[in-house]
Amino acid sequence: MTNCAFCKIIAGQIPSTRIYEDEQTLAFMDIGQVNPGHVLVAVKPHVENVFGLDDTLAGAVFRATVRVARAVHAAFAPQGMSIYQANGPAAGQTVFHLHIHVVPRWDADGMNLTWPVKNPPREKLEEYAVKIRAAL
C-alpha cells in the first residue's frame, strides 16, 4: 500500500530500528516507547486488521510475538508484559496495518486500560454465546 507507514518500514523506504524478521513478519521498535523495550510485530503483507489474516499469517504473527516477548522479558526483566492489538479507530487503532504491541509493564507505569465490567446474568452470556457460535 503506497501510503502506509508500516509498508514503507517493511520495504525499507523509511527508517526503523529492527528487532526480528522472518518470511511473514517484521518486528521493530515502536517510535513512541510507552515503556523502554516497546516493540511492534507487524505482518509483512498489507493487511489492515485481524479480520484480513489467513490462518498461516495469524499463526506466524503470534509465533513471532511470543519470540519477541521472551526476548523483551529477558532483556528488560519487567514486572509484567502487555500483548496488545487494536482493530479499528473505536478500539484505538491508529496505523491500519496489522501489528501487535509487546509492552513491558511496571507497577503504576501509567498505561491504563479501563475495564468496565458489566457482570451480566448467566442468561445474557448464553444469549451472546449463541450468536458467536452461529458465526464460527
Q: Is residue 12 a contact residue for ligand 5GP (CB under 6 A)?
A: no
DSSP 74-89: HHH--SEEEEE---SG
82 forms bridges with which residues in the sheet?
103
Q: Is 99 a catalytic residue?
A: yes
Other beta carbons less than 10 A from residue 3's beta carbon: 6
Nearer to ligand 5GP, 18 or 124 (CB): 18
The site that binds ligand 5GP (CB under 6 A) totals a number of residues, namely 13
Q: Is residue 97 a contact residue for Zn ion (CB under 5 A)?
A: yes
Main-chain dihedrals φ then ψ at residue 103, nearest 5 degrees: -120, 110
Element containing residue 28 per DSSP (H, E): strand 25-29
Look at the chain and count its residues: 136
Which of 92, 105, 120, 125 is the binder for ligand 5GP (CB under 6 A)? 92
Q: Is residue 16 a contact residue for ligand 5GP (CB under 6 A)?
A: yes
Inter-residue contact 16 to 28 (CB < 8 Å): yes
Nearer to ligand 5GP, 105 or 124 (CB): 105
Residue 2 amino acid letter: T
Which of 20, 29, 34, 46 is the binder for Zn ion (CB under 5 A)? 46
Q: Which does 1 bind (CB under 5 to 8 A by kind): Zn ion, ligand 5GP, none?
A: Zn ion
Residues that bind ligand 5GP (CB under 6 A): 5, 16, 28-32, 40, 86, 92-95
Name the residues annotated as catalytic: 99
